Structure 1
Amino acid sequence: MTGSDHHCARCGWPIDQPFQVLSRHRTSEGLVTYTRCACGLLRMHLTPATSTI
């Protein structure tokens, strides 16, 4: 299978439906989430923090 922005490049699993969430925590940059795909690929995703000035 070919990869895209929405699917794992190795197995085609939908990225927005992680097989397993390993860790989720807030940082100064936003919310960091580490997930594992069905094929075992580890992925890190940063959801940027919104700032109000």
Structure 2
Amino acid sequence: MFASEIRMRRIEGMKSSRWRWQPDEIFVKINGERRYLWRAVDHEGEVLES
């Protein structure tokens, strides 16, 4: 199975009304520089995008 097929199946499953996601955001200091990190997490805790 190719990644595009997996993604299409995942998107089809997201169309249900129960599917939810939320952004997870944080500011951190790396080598003295302030960085903004984020990720999108679904209702099952799976990372969708970062």
TM range (shorter): 0.3 to 0.5
Larger Rg, first or second structure (1 or 2): 2
Structure 1 length-normalised TM: 0.33
Normalized per residue, the structure richer in helix is 2
| Structure 2 length-normalised TM | 0.34
